[in-house]
Structure 1
Amino acid sequence: MKLKRTNLFLAAIISSAGTLYAQETPNFDPPTQNPEPGKCWVKCITPDEFEDVTETVVTEPAYTKLTTTPATFKTVEEEVLIKEASKKLVYVPAVYETQDIPYISKEKTTNLDIVPASFGDDSKEFETYPKVGRWEYRMLEDCPSANKEDCMVACFVEYPAQNQTVPLKTLAKDAYTTDVPVAEEGKSYTKKVVKTPARMDEVEIPAEYATIKRKVVDQPAKTEEETVPEVTKTVTRTVLVKKGGITTWEEVDCGLVGGANLLPILYEYNSARLTPDSKRIIDENLLSLMKNKPGLRIEIMSHTDARGNDDYNMSLSQQRAQSVVNYLAGKGIKRNRLEAKGYGESRLKNRCGNGVECSEAQHQQNRRTEFRIIQ
């Protein structure tokens, strides 16, 4: 850390009896050699400007899902010849021999087996907040000088980048099918054929038939496809769009410099919610100031009276100060120009501490919200 002695950050140009006094006069553009008496300027260091970027990434890819319907069969009947027609001789009958005749009782086909899609694991790292650095100012303890500004130190502090790793799934191999052959089935029937015909008188022997049953393919196997859509995730990350650190001067009302300024807003009992009247007061006192003076930074300070639990009062005051910051941010004021600080009952303006009986008006003096211009 490098220490640096600083001059006053608030420069007031005051004219008295024709003499001009100033501890650090602003560098005006164009330069002004004779500023008006009673004018005050605040030295401001422009902050870094950031922007939230939203990006959509695919965490699971789209893929194809397959289903198969196996082949169906139907049974048909068929008439087949089991004995041929012939002639018989009166004296010498015909001689027959038996033969086995094969036939296909069930045709062959092909079924399909599904091999499902396979996936791999992957990840992607995003920078959710960039590496930044800024000057931070603080006052040295036990300052020997009557002028506290002589003991102010400036430290350049770097904050590392912040990252986020998002797990991803990748499609290693899509689903597919493999053929599963189904063999045909065969049977046989017997058939008698004439080996030696009859001789002499011929007698007609009619043919004989039989009915057989066999299974044939009715509907062949088929595949149906279903597309499973991809799965996405939205990642929001903050990027630095403009580097700050430039010194600017803002002219302000001298009544606003040098200490806390009362912001006359009232809260509902035991609540940090802003009432419509409170919002109107903020608009008139702070919102217009912040919009007209884009280089200013403001600290909102909220206080409670001493009644109730100390820790609870500290928490409630922080919530109330934060509600003012949130309201201003909702009106377009950047949050890096605002700070919320709750002091609870630690900065009472009168004697009304714990256990001291006071009127409601005296307690009301302590229940206050203030603001002050900061670097």
Structure 2
Amino acid sequence: MKKLLFSISLLMFGASAIAQDLPTNPEPGKCYVRCKTPDVWKNEDVTIETKAAYKKIVTRPAQYKTETERVLVQEASKTLKIVPAVYETRDVVVVVKEASYALEVVPGSFGSETVSYTAKQDASALKAIPATFSPDSQTIEIKPASAVWQMSDKAPDCQSDDPNDCRYWCYKPIPAQFVTVALTKLNVDAHTVKTNVPGFDKSYKKTVVAKEPTTRQITIPEVTKVVKKTVMVTPPTTKVVEIPAQYSTIKKVVLVKDAWAEEVTVPAQYKTVTKEVLVQKGGLTTWKEVDCAITQNSVLPINWNLGSATLTPEAKRIIDTRLLPVLKTGVAVAIESHTDSRGSKTSNQDLSERRALAVTNYLISKGINSSKLTGNGYGENRLTNRCSDGVSCTEREHRANRRTTFRVINQ
């Protein structure tokens, strides 16, 4: 009876697959999406002149500067003046006993010296380390893997009235069955470890001669006496006294540059407008193989800055490596952005929409046609856990709700 039901099930599945125009020769574990070839557009920049260039005349006034001139009002002259002799009293030193010297004994000096020697030499010691073991296991396949066709639910944002649109046919694999046998594994066999037993040094002190005894010479200075004496320092003479000339300063204004006219060119003003130009008309519908994982919402691990919808360089790198290669295969993608429950519902909704728009705008800047992108923000309306308003949660739980995802959609 079970075999009969299974045969009827296969017949019904085959009829359904023919009705859905499913791809031929599917492979187990693969998913397929029906794609419509989109119109191919490109952006062109057109520059237009919004204001013509023209000339204007600017008049410049004459330029002056003030100069200062020094003029002679009385010539220089000379006069003579008598300078009398100059005398002074000086101290004269007279030697009353000549200098001599005497000898003095300087005793020797001693110091100490430290001598080191090896009191015990270095050696080594051995320590036995026993063998160590760890548990292990071996897995054996007891039933091979198989596969079966399965149709997904209709996408929630599908705009078609046809119940067969916006669905994915996946050839779902049935995993193999295994049994695990426990084993004991030798990690490290018994061995010895050698350690050093260091020796040590000792020292003793001995007294040594630092300086031999000697003699030194002591100088006995001479004895002198000071007497006073009046002497002429400068004889009488005359000197010429210079009477300097006298000057006065006057100011006058001189012309540096006469007035002139100057032509100034005012450049034209331009504006650049971007327009879309159709390169190739689309419309052809085909089947395309896609990774089964991306037919469901896949998380882009973007760490948005708090309250920000600006893509960081790391976020752009994640989009380039995770999402851009998927879009370059020709499929269409839905971008969804979510927030946690902290903050007002209105601000969270606005923030999620701006983050979804930031991702789609970045993909358009990388050459992806806008017809292949759908971006939506859901704010805090689709939480993945219990962390709603008023519930105390950890930062890790809140971060699970603060996510941006993508999935492949039918075209």
Query: Which TM-score tier does this pair reach, normalised by the shorter chain?
Result: 0.3 to 0.5
Greater Rg by CA: 2
TM-score by length of 2: 0.43
Report which structure shows greater RCO (CA 8 Å, sep ≥6): 2
* TM-score between both structures, scaled by the size of structure 1: 0.46
